[in-house]
Chains A and B, each alone.
Chain A
């Protein structure tokens, strides 16, 4: 069966329940993109109903069709340029008067229109009854349907009515009389514009009205046409004449006329029982936006969100990490050794796994944001924080993305989308990487553990966090005064009534954003991990300063000889397995050792617990010795020799990896940047780590581990701590400088990728990379050189 295709655009005020209807109707069948050149999301979904296939476009929520916001311009351009078969105007029945203001303007676009009275249940609870047939009458017979979006009631009927309305290609001829003065001016303008009409798709009467309203966007597109100069001049003349005649801006007058008309209709169609009732929503607001409790409640909620995201999120992150580790091993065991295996296991699986470990946190974060948004609390949070943020050039709503920056810059940058004003949004995006994200934390903790006394460790860490916040405030004020001059957007915002959100809408919301993160940032992180893999593994043939293979063989030979001389010869055997008792004893001793190592893996050597375990181990050994007086010495010797061989081999292997890295492209890069970072107290090793750390900040640590020939390294690594502490180039001052540098310098690749996505240009990520690194250099220089002058350098 071929279905008749119908495109329907959903238009409506913010909070009119438009998106809920869209989600309920289309279910999962939707596609999210961006309108070209703006950060307004473009959502399209599909639905089959009977013999019809609907393509439904969810246009951004808008109050009007003027040119004062991206949303308004996107909406009107879409209707006129893309010509959907029908426009469905979703109206909040509980707030109908203001919603009808948009309806009037939609009718003036002369496009088939269906009115959907949504949330009729809410309206009735508030004591508002609406007569839809009378409403239709007042608007020249425009069709009206009723829906309850949250329960998906009436939406099928809505689509069928929309299909019917779309058959009617003509508009219904609705015209609002703006009074003789305006109408006269429109009459004068119409013939002038009709001449240009072939090239402009807007209706002539609408164009005339917009020009009288002095609509900047329309004037700009008119100016692009040939021969339009005289028309524009004439329009300006007529507009100025008119505004003198009516005594105010035409724009304001026209809006007033529309509101008057709407007010008259509303009186005819609505039966309002109690216009002054205090709603439940107002009562909740009395508490949540209370002068005294508002702020503490807000911080409490944020604390909950923060914990939810970054503690609970860690659990599935761990699973994903393990799963990818296993997958790597599995594939590693199947594939034969070689560069391809290394690329797949270390490069691709390691890289993709790295991206996916972020996902649980991100999904939870978006879950929390969706809940806060859908209940209506987010709008209140912005109100509560506004005064505080404004002091340093930010906006009330900036607080939420910045707070998220403590966890990860990626959601922070994406979260800044909620700021309407592009200047406010850009400043928030540029400063949010200055928050100490969770990937920087392991770098701090290892450096602090290596160079600072435990008694000051907490203060040192805290000082880095504070430094980030102070720099953020300074940079935000600087941006506000230079790059993004101009007042921050004055704060006027509608507060939607509190609502119990539906699970479906929250899940959809959350999934929509999470998949976007996966697709965009994921591809870039993947590419970066492959690049980093290449840079650290190539050139594959390097001239080593020592022959590591020969050294390994030599160590093994020494081992065999020593075992033969010291263990086997006295017992007159050739292999320890010839003596079952000895073999069993060796196993026993090794078990005790393994058990001890596992139990102490995360303990400090000077801790009381460690000492306790050590005593227990010695006791066990003594016990074994008394049980086997003849063989114990031989077995112990054997165990000791085997362990030292293993150690020797690992050491050689790590040394070889380290040397290979030093001579790899990334090592050469480190040497290349060394002169630049020398004034900060860093050598080439730190250089490589910092360069590698641009892919992700955790990588600073793992790269250092590789360079210091330690193999795998994480924040629990005691060995890296010791190796760092022993490096003569490093001291507490350099360590602190390094922390400062890691805090400030270029955002990681994932953050840069998202920045590109959110700003629609490579300019800003490039700027952020350069400014971040420059700022880091300057601040670290001051810290290091200043510290040296004060005598902290040794």
Chain B
């Protein structure tokens, strides 16, 4: 399912991306790669605060639509 539908506090694993090449690789470089476990810490008007490994990453709503997790 797309990441947007995940709730605060939920833990999930990134499966695949459906967005353009450039932004996808930027996310991968920041540690959001397929197979990586993440946790949703907070959400503000749809913008997400994720726990990725020991880093905290902020993600815009439109990107959360393009990341599929399970």
Binding site for B on A (CB under 8 A): 63-64, 66, 68-69, 94-95, 97-98, 101, 126, 128, 249, 251-252, 255-256, 259-260, 281-282, 285-286, 289, 291, 294, 379, 383-384, 386-387, 490-495, 497
Contact = CB atoms under 8 A, between A and B. Distances in A.
Given A252-B24, A492-B23, A495-B56, 14 more contacts: A63-B30, A66-B29, A68-B29, A98-B30, A101-B29, A251-B25, A281-B56, A289-B49, A383-B58, A384-B44, A387-B45, A490-B19, A491-B59, A494-B57
Contact of B44 (A255, A294, A497): A294
Interface in B26-41: 26-36, 41
Nearest to B54: A95
A14 to B, nearest CB: 10
A45 B58 CA distance: 33
Contacts of A379: 58
Interface in B1-25: 17, 19, 21-25
Most chain A CB atoms below 10 A, which of B27, B52, B54, B62: B54
Contacts of B25: 64, 66, 68, 251-252, 255
Contacts, number: 105
B44 A291 contact: yes
A186 B68 CA distance: 31
Nearest to A126: B54
Contact of A98 (B21, B26, B49, B55): B55
Nearest to A14: B30
Nearest to B32: A492
Contacts of B26: 68-69, 492
A387 B60 CA distance: 9
B46 to A, nearest CB: 8
23 contacts: A64-B25, A66-B25, A68-B25, A94-B54, A126-B54, A251-B21, A256-B35, A259-B33, A259-B35, A282-B41, A285-B49, A289-B42, A289-B44, A387-B45, A490-B60, A491-B47, A491-B58, A492-B23, A492-B27, A492-B57, A492-B58, A492-B63, A497-B56
B58 A493 contact: yes
A126 B56 CA distance: 15
Contacts of B21: 249, 251
A495 B49 contact: yes
A492 B60 contact: yes
A605 to B, nearest CB: 54
B29 A286 contact: no
Nearest to A96: B54
A135 to B, nearest CB: 16
Given A386-B47, A491-B47, A286 B58 contact: no
A101 B31 contact: yes
Contacts of B22: 68
Contacts of B55: 95, 98, 494
Contact of A63 (B19, B29, B34, B42): B29
Nearest to A72: B29
A226 to B, nearest CB: 29
Contacts of B28: 64, 252, 255
Contacts of A256: 33-35
B53 A97 contact: yes
A383 B48 CA distance: 10
Most chain A CB atoms below 10 A, which of B29, B32, B55: B29
Report whether over half of chain A's contact residues are helix, strand or loop; otherwise say mixed: helix
Most chain B CB atoms below 10 A, which of A98, A251, A281, A291: A98
Given A256-B35, A282-B41, A383-B47, A492 B30 contact: yes
A387 B62 CA distance: 11
B70 to A, nearest CB: 16
- Give 3 nearest A-B pairs by CB, closest first: A491-B60, A64-B29, A63-B29
Contacts of A387: 45, 47
A493 B57 contact: yes
A98 B23 contact: no
Contacts of A383: 44, 47, 49, 58
A255 B30 CA distance: 11
A607 to B, nearest CB: 50
Contacts of A286: 42
Contacts of B34: 252, 256
B42 to A, nearest CB: 6
B27 to A, nearest CB: 6
A635 to B, nearest CB: 77
A128 B55 CA distance: 14
A63 B52 CA distance: 14
Contacts of A69: 26
A359 to B, nearest CB: 35
A226 B68 CA distance: 44
B48 to A, nearest CB: 10
Contacts of A259: 33, 35-36
A284 to B, nearest CB: 11
A400 B68 CA distance: 33
Contacts of A252: 17, 24-25, 28, 33-34
B24 A490 contact: no
A224 to B, nearest CB: 23
Nearest to A295: B44
A98 B56 contact: no
A555 to B, nearest CB: 73
A539 B17 CA distance: 70
Nearest to A286: B42
Contacts of B17: 252
Contacts of B33: 252, 255-256, 259
B11 to A, nearest CB: 9
A260 B24 CA distance: 18
B29 A495 contact: no
A285 B58 CA distance: 12
A241 to B, nearest CB: 19
A273 B59 CA distance: 28
B8 to A, nearest CB: 10
A492 B59 CA distance: 5
Most chain A CB atoms below 10 A, which of B34, B53, B55: B55
A210 to B, nearest CB: 13
Contacts of A63: 29-31
Nearest to A105: B29
Nearest to A102: B29
Nearest to A291: B44
A101 B21 CA distance: 19
Nearest to A390: B60
A176 to B, nearest CB: 15
Contacts of A255: 25, 28-29, 33
Contacts of B58: 379, 383, 491-495
A259 B26 CA distance: 14
B7 to A, nearest CB: 14
A384 B62 CA distance: 16
Most chain B CB atoms below 10 A, which of A97, A285, A289, A492: A492
Contacts of B42: 285-286, 289
A97 B24 CA distance: 19
A88 B42 CA distance: 35
A479 B32 CA distance: 32
Given A289-B42, A289-B44, A491 B30 contact: no
Nearest to B57: A494
Contacts of B41: 282, 285
A150 B28 CA distance: 29
A527 B10 CA distance: 61
Nearest to A66: B25
